[in-house]
Chain A
Amino acid sequence: MLLTLSIFIPMLGMVVVLLLPKDNHNLIRWTSVGIAVATFIPIVVLTMGYTDPDGESAADTLLAERERVIAEAPEAARAAILALTAEGVAEANDPGTMSDLAADDERAAHWSLVKGDREAEAAYHEAWELAIAAQAAISQNLKYVEYGNWIPTFNINYILGVDGLSLPLIFLSGLLFILCFVYSFNITKGVKAYYALFLLLETGLIGVFAALDFFLFYVFWEIVLLPMYFLIGYWGGPNRIYAAIKFFIYTLVGSVVMLVAMLALYWQGGYDTFNLLTLIGMSGNFDATFQMWIFMALFLGFAIKVPVFPFHTWLPDAHVQAPTAVSVILAGVLLKMGGYGFFRFSYTLAPEAGTSEFMVMFIGLLGLINIVYGALCAMAQTDFKSLVAYSSVSHMGFVLLGLAAFTPEGIMGSVFQMFSHGVSSAMMFLLVGVLYDRAHHRDLNKFGGIGLQMPYYTGFAIIGFFTSLGLPGLAGFIGEMSVFMGSLNAEGFDWSGTSLYAPLPRWVVYAALPGVVLTAGYILWAVQRVYMGEAKKEEYKTYSDLSGREVFSLVPLAAMCIVLGVWPRVLIDFMNPTLDVLREFITTAGIGG
């Protein structure tokens, strides 16, 4: 219930905001902040309660749902459903397809009991679906699962649930929206529409991370697209139309290909289900070629979001044109949809493809390119925001590198990097925004001497930029270190009993090492050009230091940078069980089912 609340409070809030008088800007602003806080409360409750060992896992919930389905099924079919789905549970590792089940003599006898009776058939299918879903490896750690029928004709369900992978991202979204709403108080153009769209965006984002039904996920995914398009296209910089359309089209291309993969999965073997957990439970049955196609199709969709070279060029355009708050959401959470998708969909639905020699090298090399190439491009930028955007490209390379390694440290580093980048890049965009609001330009070469005039602001800037640089003691280091540990460990790791026979070679990681030096180079160079030296323009001497509104948006992020750097266990212990199960599942899925 809490998950549903946190998803739909913003949507309801949008309706409320739309009903408010158009010219009362402050009312709209404060209402929106109130809604964002109201959304964050259930998220905090969820986060606090997640580690409770007595919490009901997905397996429990889904099996209870199965009981309910059986109890509600027509009397005549009940025995058959029980028998069949019990077998389905027993043989979850090799359940065969629906038709296979029907073909077997004994089963055919059961099947004939339900066949023809639409209600019985549907109950039969749903019970089977739930039985398999409860068996899926990752369902142990999923909690707060909500289940309901949405479009029964196509077996589309409303399934929500969170685990150590998605909950931190939901938490981050909830927090960032509050900060963005407060930061956006300086928006005066179309305030009502701005906040309404922003609230819709929040619904989409939290929904994406919570949805466990592929169709539902896709709907939320598309919901995210729309408000983003308008937010960039209407409130953006001079070249906003171009950037917005580019963002829209690019993401749409990716999501259409994803849709194809989704439909292919639906029809594959006649499973007729969008239930992600059921599909994961059945993924052992997908043959290698099919997995490869699925993986590539999903990969394109997610890679564009991450963004992975060479699909990254929409990002700098979108960032440079977008208003500050939109950039914050874009870098902080939106990019994580891609990384999250890899973990939740690509590797679990096509584990054999993901662990194949080709794919390990492919992802590893893309990670390498992202890191080094992204850093080089960042170094070449003269626009402050563009530099931060390219630094995102570089940092997301670590996510790919850790993913390709498949070691515990690699996977953790990858997810940790997503989270810490969400914090640090959000902070950097806010920092750039603060400066832009005063100077009305972002040209790195025209800045200088800001540190003297705005020392308090510069203190925050140091925290933000050094987190991005990967300084120990701040959040960025943990992810980077973990990825390096994990990816250099891939060759030496004990892979016995797994399907990964060709781990990521070490040279890929060695080749990524210059990225660390380049990162230091472009960040320190930018810091020097902006904050050090004498004030380059007379007007810089008149700038006021941070206002209360700006401090409010920056403080939680700075605090998270420090806390996660000094005591990373807050996050690591939270994610450990989930990621361990995920890793075990992916690396052993190819062998023996």
Chain B
Amino acid sequence: MPNLVMLALLVVVLPLAAWTYGFLYAFFNRRLPSYQDKLATAAISGSLVIALYMFFTEVLFVGSGITNPESWSFTWIQIGVTGHHPFILNLDLAVDNITVIMFVVVTIVATCVHWYSQSYMEDEDRYSRFFFYLGLFTFSMLACVATTNLLMLFIFWELVGVCSYFLIGFFFLKKSAGDASKKAFVVNRIGDGCFMAGICLIYSVLSRYWPDEGVLSFARIWESIALLGAADGPWVGNESLLTAVGLLVFMGCVSKSAQFPLHIWLPDAMEGPTPVSALIHAATMVVAGVYMIVRMFPLMAGEGYLSGNYFDSPVLFIIACFGAITAIFAGTIALAQSDLKKGLAYSTCSQLGYMVLAVGVGSIGAAMFHLFTHAFFKACLFLGSGSVIHAVHSQEMSDMGGLKDKMPHTRWTFLISCLAIAGTPLFSGFMSKEAILGQAAAYGLQVGAFWAWFPFVLGGITAFLTAFYMFRLYWLTFHGEPGDQQKFDHAHESPSKMIVPLWALAALAIVSAGIAMPFGAGHTGGHWFQDRVNDQVIVKDYLAVNASTAESRSVFGDQQQVHLVHHHDAAAIASPVVEEFHHNFHSVHYPLLGGSIVAVIFGIAGSFFFFVRNRNKDFLADIPPAVEYRRVLQNLYYVDWFACERVVPTTKDVADAAGRFDNRVVDGIVNGTARFFGRDLGWAVGRIDNIVVDGAVNGAGWLMMAGGSLFRGMVNGRIQDYVKFTAVCMGVLLLWVLAAG
């Protein structure tokens, strides 16, 4: 087992070990160990150290990072016999740049949250259970990004989902928490069902081409796309299926990454404890969807992937539209939220929209970059909001205000993160958001049609909105007059266990931008990070295969030994389209830079004007036409209403109807048939028996008596009648079958 794989396994297994210990302890002692918190924190801290070691020694300062991923694989399931089309599911593991980057994101945020929660959750009942769930979650999440097999990814994907379910419902005594957790799981199941179907279809197509192999590894999926140009590739004759697969797999992302219209679970998920919101519903689990479509990018790009011309792919355009719509949709709703956490939740939704948009316009590098930076500042924002909630015991912003001097650490870290998410220059969010918008604009230029500007225009407006609504949250929480004097008086800064993680994340909200800066050995210009990401999916050998010969099915003798090549080399091989795109990107780069700075300034200044200068909390109430719109916003565009008041009750009605149908019609027919044969027919037979046979012998008077008693007997003891019936049936069917045979 190669060295890096060993380390990666260690990163994944440590939290699992802590969890398993707790599980066994609880099994034997009927309660969790009181030191589960220490155990879980120690485990994740260990994972963090290893992940950082991997990051610094293999990715950050080392050439192009990991260019030849080490891999390891073992067969988890084999269904069927080799040679007879078996289904093979391998636990594939390949450590590449994306894996290490995701490890770093997950372990950093998880470690901060573990430390933070020790203080934040201190007084809660079932304190140990909280860390028990957290441990299972971090394990599942790390495993989800470590594995390079799509079905394995799905398995851990579901596991993070169920951890999310438990953690949202952590305060299960509250009905709203129970409802929210159920909603999250069921809504996610919709996307997961589609995702599963997509995986099944991929398997169905690829297993014809590569029998006796675990075809669901990323390497095989990418290779199948590379073989699109070949005359006998796996997808030949299945092109329409490829589009369907792309969309089905993307549906998994829609639910997991809270894209419109399946975003409805995310704001409700704020019922969970705030550290959970930071970890699961901001930094890690919700970005799993984005991570997944980044990994599956070739599948989404389809034919265009070969030439580097992603712009014709209908799937990608649909993805871009989903992202853009979600970005502006959630961004506008965030304007009208009065609950601090809900405001942050919609902002997460909106930022996830950006990431998805980036994938849609063909820039997975920018998507991963935004994922990376967003994880830190959004986690910081959530933990900061937790600190405030901890102090004032309320989530409503009307109870807050003026806290800037009482909670200086919280305030400054919150401000830094707000600046980062708003996209202020020198902060991380600026770099990543600008990269996305640049790509979106270049996409518009490249395609040329007016509809191709759709993602850019919506993304651009959202950039302004982001600055506006984020600073609205900031002003209303930390500036102005206290909303509730009593709560204000009781408020105090949080203890150091909560403050230190805040500062760590706030520092990363600035520093993580530096990663995109041109420094470090062997960097390639200003796109250091993106290149690291693009390396993983742009694979020279696939292109080479495509260019030269389509015959060599097993270019990669060992399916895991995928040789990766630098982005620019791949571009050189690829068509001029790619170069044109790069040219377009550079031509929009500088105007855009200026534009986004202006948008940020206007956003922040606008919210300052409304909420600090005018102290106007209901800013849309001033302008008459806006009042109507505000009502729409407060009703969340009626999507939740439609889902909860229309779809769910309808489903329940249908279910009730099915239950009644089952009870009355299906069972009614059964009972009716039984009654017919058992009582009515038996009665008739009895009558004939009595009247014709007995009557001839015994005479009518006695017959009536006997008939009456027999009749009563039939009704009371039905079992004999049934035996009679079955005997008759048997005879009839016997004759029938024999006649037929």
Contact = CB atoms under 8 A, between A and B. Distances in A.
Interface of A: 245-246, 248-250, 252-253, 256-257, 259-261, 263-264, 267-268, 289-290, 293-294, 297, 309-310, 312-314, 373, 376-377, 379-381, 407-409, 412-413, 449, 451-452, 455-456, 459, 466, 471-473, 477-478, 481-482, 484-486, 488-489, 491-494, 509-510, 513-514, 516-518, 520-522, 524-525, 528, 531-534, 545, 568-569, 572-573, 576-577, 579-580, 583-584
A237 to B, nearest CB: 17
A256 B730 contact: yes
20 contacts: A245-B718, A259-B730, A260-B730, A260-B733, A263-B734, A373-B662, A380-B655, A380-B660, A451-B172, A481-B151, A482-B87, A485-B87, A488-B201, A489-B200, A510-B197, A518-B651, A521-B186, A524-B165, A532-B169, A533-B172
B79 A520 contact: no
Main secondary structure of the interface of B (DSSP, over half): helix
A492 B80 contact: no
Interface residues of B, number: 79
Contacts of A466: 162
Contact of B80 (A256, A412, A514): A412
Which 10 residue pairs of A and B lie closest in terms of their CB atoms, listed nearest first? A380-B659, A408-B80, A379-B655, A376-B658, A492-B204, A488-B200, A472-B155, A313-B667, A532-B178, A532-B172
Contacts of A297: 733, 737
B119 interface: no
Interface string B153-181: 01110110010010001001111011101
Nearest to A287: B741
B1 interface: no
B175 to A, nearest CB: 6
Contacts of A310: 666, 669
Interface string B699-741: 0000000000000000000110011001001100110111011
Contacts of B740: 289-290, 293
Contact of A253 (B155, B205, B658, B726): B726
Interface in B637-677: 651-652, 654-660, 662, 666-667, 669-670, 674
Interface of B: 26, 30-31, 76-81, 84-87, 151, 154-156, 158-159, 162, 165, 169, 172-175, 177-179, 181-182, 185-186, 189-190, 192-194, 196-197, 200-201, 203-205, 207-208, 211, 238, 651-652, 654-660, 662, 666-667, 669-670, 674, 678, 718-719, 722-723, 726, 729-730, 733-734, 736-738, 740-741
Contacts of A572: 77-79
A511 to B, nearest CB: 11
Contacts of A263: 734
A361 B201 CA distance: 20
Given A471-B162, A532-B178, 20 more contacts: A256-B729, A293-B737, A313-B667, A376-B655, A380-B652, A408-B87, A451-B172, A452-B173, A456-B30, A472-B156, A472-B158, A485-B87, A488-B204, A491-B204, A510-B197, A528-B181, A528-B182, A533-B174, A576-B79, A576-B81
A409 B674 CA distance: 40
Nearest to A242: B671
A569 B88 CA distance: 11
A245 B723 CA distance: 12
Given A313-B662, A451-B172, A521-B186, A245 B30 contact: no
Contacts of B667: 313
A473 B200 contact: no
Interface centre among B169, B192, B238 (most CB of A within 10 A): B169
Nearest to B663: A313
A236 B90 CA distance: 48
B474 to A, nearest CB: 35
Contacts of B208: 492-494
Nearest to B737: A264
A412 B86 CA distance: 11
B85 A534 contact: no
A513 B194 CA distance: 8
B666 A313 contact: yes
A580 B722 contact: no
Contacts of B189: 516-517, 520
B441 to A, nearest CB: 38
B185 A520 contact: yes
Nearest to B655: A379
B670 A313 contact: yes
A122 to B, nearest CB: 25
Nearest to A229: B719
Given A381-B659, A576-B78, A584 B737 contact: no
Contacts of A492: 204-205, 207-208, 238
A579 B669 CA distance: 37
A583 to B, nearest CB: 8
A176 B39 CA distance: 37
Contacts of B158: 471-472, 477
Contact of A545 (B30, B156, B657): B30
Given A377-B655, A408-B84, A248 B719 contact: yes
Interface centre among B151, B156, B182 (most CB of A within 10 A): B182
A267 B739 CA distance: 12
A294 B86 CA distance: 31
B182 A524 contact: yes
Contacts of A580: 80-81, 84
B252 to A, nearest CB: 13
A517 B741 contact: no
